[in-house]
Amino acid sequence: MKNLFSLLLAALLTALAAPASALNIFACEPEWAALSQELAGDKADIYAATTALQDPHHVQARPSLISHARRAQLVVCTGAELEIGWLPVILRESGNPDIAPGKPGNFEATRYVTLREVPTVISRSEGDVHPEGNPHIQLDARNYLPIAQALTARLAQLDPDNAAFYQSRLKDFTQRWQTAIARWEKQAAPLRGQPIVVHHKAYAYLDNWLGLKEVAELEPKPGMQPSVAHMSQVLQQLQRQPARMVVRAAYQSPEPSAWLSERAHIPAVELPFSVGGDDQAKDLFGLFDDTIARLLAGLK
Amino acid sequence: MFKHAILCAALFAPLCAQAATDADLRDIRTQIEQLKKSYEQRISQLEQRLQQAEADSKHAASTAAQAQATAQQASRPPAAANSFNPAISMILSGTYGQFQQDPSIPATGFAMSPNNNSHTRSFSLKESELGITADIDPQFRGVATLSLAPTGGLSAENAFIQTTTLGNGFNLKFGRFFSGLGYLNDQHSHTWDFVDQPLVYVSMWDNQLGEDGMQLKWLAPTDTFIELGAELGRGLGFPGSDRQTHNGPGAAVLFAHVGDDIGYSDSWRAGISLHQTKQVNAVSNNVPDLPGTLGGVSNSFTGNTKTTGLDFVWKHAPNGDTTITNFKLQGEYFRRQENGMLTYDIAAANTTDSYAVTQSGWYLQGVYQFMPMWRVGLRYDQLDPGTAQVGALNAANVISSYGYTPKRSTVMLDYSPSEFSRLRLQLAQDKSRQGLTDNQLFLQYIMSLGAHGAHQF
């Protein structure tokens, strides 16, 4: 009991001693941590709740996540029910009403872009469907422009003293990002119209941006594990309608794509999927540089 | 449009020319010539504009998407579970059980504890759980878990209110809830890793300690998870005896939890708990005695009960991604001290004297997901009935020491096609009853319908 008490006391003192100036941001996924970093620079203390090697649908509501949410002034998440299996528990248990849904401290990126693949039939018999639409918006570089704008407005709202700083960071980011988009679109021109197979239905936005054509998924239904029975069907389909590669995210098991790759004689391409998904995807720019480079390598 | 005009002029000009005079012809020719010139000019102008537009369009596309999204931001409401309707979920579960011994026999030395181990022979429907959750207003959130007993009847398993705006790490809960002590106590049965609760939970908490009362939790503002909780309740759940003639709280709980991550792959939580209550005229039936009364006797106990507990859980997943493989190790220890007056054989002898006993129990279990959808689990349970200090009047009646350590080993295999369905096989060798080794077999299904509840750690 004595030990616990001294631990608590130490904890309290550390908490009080911590500089209160930096805006405390809790980012649900690494891409939003990276975007927050671009926009807030050293004015924010950013905690990324997950890494690119974790399936964002299935994250444990770990004690460390709850304790980090407790002190957050802003949570930056994807929304559209991507985090429904874990975030509600964290927000509730944190005892921090500032980051509750609907509060200025709760930012959902999917609210600022047009969601694709909004299901017409909402039934679990269709697998892990998201009623609001496909939440994997982070692979269309163009989506970051409106999200960055909205996030900057939110940062300025929560930390008005630094509003001008955030605005100038946004201006700078937007400029660099638009140049990069033009470059990526040029580089990715050979990908236009190319048929691909994907592990999980997580590439709707990438496809729409770069013109890739998704012809099949390894998962029989979104969120269901790939089965040999289903993949055999995909293999048969590929004989009639060939694809150039089979694409998966860094956090997904390589086995199903390796199985198909070997039999359909098409390359298996692992994409970083988010910042930190591989050594090249160190920031948002690296994420897209590497994603496009890997897709182009898949064509060869 | 103008393309058509040129075509028409070109096609019909020779026809017209035959009938017309030379002067007319010249006129027509100059007119056509002029037409041609003006159209060529306009075409080249249009071509230039088209090229320029094409160049601009790529740039415009991203700007347009941006504008559209910004416009949308204002119009799209935030996500809500069925607007004002509460989120509703239903758990359906059933088992098939096969036992060599009568499942109603209690663990040796624990006849004064309830023994609702929920073991039923053959096919049986388990409790169907109806969950209803919604924000009530900006301050409160309501949670109800109604349990439909397979034999009929509806009971409120949980029905509580949670505050949502206290802030500073405080959470207040009031109503009927599962106590926050230990690790397993506040987890609903559909999330259990085995068909049944560990023996120590069956004997010390009647499976799960539920309470009518209030709970205040405080989370420290630190990177390390430190949570303190206190509860006051009526003493509804065992070892409380639900004193309805008494004002003021009948049971109190204190608990503390500490947790953190170790790198990306490992996380843990550990806790200590303390529970105190007073039992008043708590009657237990079929208690074995020293004279060896057939079928045992009914005793009554009045006194203080203090239970302390330790719990820990450690979870491992490669890179923190649980979808392919993961491992969970958990263990809990509880020690209960009872001190008061025992009335032996209330139906006949009815002799009352002092009685004090310290009993304990623990379990350790590991669950390993060795491939997606498949998990295997191993659990070991042990109880210590302790040695009772029995007052002189009952020295020849009440058994003070059983000299036996109840234990059980359990293994399970489960298959979850999705996170909403689970099928389980469980085998156990139960030696919790002296001389009555029981090899048990269970088959179980657990299915959840409706709203997707988030899972706690």
**What domains are defined for chain A?**
12-181 (3.40.50.1980), 190-299 (3.40.50.1980)
B98: helix, coil or strand? strand
Fold classification of B95-124+162-450 (topology level): Porin (2.40.160)
pLDDT score of B1: 41
Residue B418 to chain A, least CA–CA distance (Å)? 6
Residue B71 to chain A, least CA–CA distance (Å)? 9
For the segment A85-118, what is each residue's pLDDT rounded down to a tens digit?
A: 999 999 999 999 999 999 999 999 999 999 999 9
Contact across the interface for A94 and B219, Cβ inside 8 Å: yes
Please answer whether residues B239 and B147 qualify as being in contact, where contact means their C-beta atoms are separated by less than 8 angstroms. no
Contacts A253 to B, Cβ<8 Å: 323-324, 372
pLDDT score of B79: 55
Please answer whether residues B283 and B316 qualify as being in contact, where contact means their C-beta atoms are separated by less than 8 angstroms. no
Contacts A64 to B, Cβ<8 Å: 223-225, 259-261, 267
A63: helix, coil or strand? helix
B14: helix, coil or strand? helix
- The amino acid sitting at B201 is Y
SS3 for B180-242 is CCCCCCCCCHHHCCCCCCCHHHHHHHCCCCEEEEEEEEEECCCCCEEEEEEEEECCCCCCCCC
Half-sphere exposure of B178 (CA within 13 A, CB side): 18
First CA to last CA distance, chain A: 65
A260: helix, coil or strand? helix
Comparing CB atoms, the residue among A7, A92, A149 nearest residue B70 is A149
Please answer whether residues A36 and A151 qualify as being in contact, where contact means their C-beta atoms are separated by less than 8 angstroms. yes
The tokens describing B296, both together, are 């045992």
Which residue is it, tokens 């006051």?
A: B232
Contact across the interface for A95 and B269, Cβ inside 8 Å: no
pTM above threshold 0.80: yes
Distances from the Cα of B256 to the Cα of A107, B224, B309, B336, B457, angstroms: 31, 13, 11, 18, 15
Residue B62 to chain A, least CA–CA distance (Å)? 6
pLDDT score of B354: 96
Q: Where are the beta strands (DSSP E) in A109-243?
A: 195-198, 213-217
Contact across the interface for A92 and B66, Cβ inside 8 Å: no
Contacts B267 to A, Cβ<8 Å: 60, 62-64
Q: Is the dihedral of CA A23, B264, B221, A102 positive or negative?
A: positive
What chain B residue is nearest to A143 in terms of C-alpha separation? B66
- The amino acid sitting at B412 is M
pLDDT score of B42: 72
B117: helix, coil or strand? coil
Question: Which of B306, B304, B308 lies closest to B341, judged by CA?
Answer: B304
Phi/psi region, residue B327 (left: phi>0; alpha: psi -120 to 50; beta: rest), is: beta
Average pLDDT over chain A reads 92
Question: Which of B330, B410, B444, B318 lies closest to B371, judged by CA?
Answer: B318
For the segment A219-238, what is each residue's pLDDT rounded down to a tens digit?
A: 999 988 899 999 999 999 99
- The amino acid sitting at B339 is N
Contacts A102 to B, Cβ<8 Å: 78
Q: Phi and psi at residue A217, in whole multiples of 5°?
A: -120, 150
Q: Give the CA radius of gyration of chain A.
A: 21
State CA B339 to chain mean position distance.
Answer: 35
Whether residue B62 lies within 8 A of chain A, CB to CB, comes out as yes
Q: Is the dihedral of CA A72, B66, A207, A182 positive or negative?
A: negative
Stretch 147-166 of chain A: residues touching chain B, C-beta under 8 Å: 149-150
The tokens describing A272, both together, are 């970083």
Contact across the interface for B264 and A55, Cβ inside 8 Å: no
- pLDDT tier at A25 (50, 70, 90 boundaries)? very high
Residue A240 to chain B, least CA–CA distance (Å)? 30
Contact across the interface for B68 and A53, Cβ inside 8 Å: no
A175: helix, coil or strand? helix
Cα B413 from Cα B369, distance rounded (Å): 10
Q: Phi and psi at residue B287, in whole multiples of 5°?
A: -85, 125
* pLDDT by position in tens, chain B (length 457): 444 444 444 444 444 444 445 666 677 677 777 777 776 777 667 666 666 655 555 454 445 445 554 544 444 555 555 567 888 999 999 999 999 999 989 999 999 988 888 899 999 998 899 999 999 999 999 999 999 988 888 999 999 999 999 999 999 999 999 999 999 999 999 999 999 999 999 999 999 999 999 999 999 999 999 999 999 999 888 898 877 677 888 899 999 999 999 999 999 999 999 999 999 999 999 999 999 999 999 999 999 999 999 999 999 999 999 999 999 999 999 999 999 999 999 999 999 999 999 999 999 999 999 999 999 999 999 999 999 999 999 999 999 999 999 999 999 999 999 889 999 999 999 999 999 999 999 999 999 998 877 788 9
Q: Phi and psi at residue B21, in whole multiples of 5°?
A: -80, 165
Comparing CB atoms, the residue among A80, A124, A142 nearest residue B79 is A80
Contact across the interface for B454 and A58, Cβ inside 8 Å: no
Which residue is it, tokens 């236009």?
A: A192
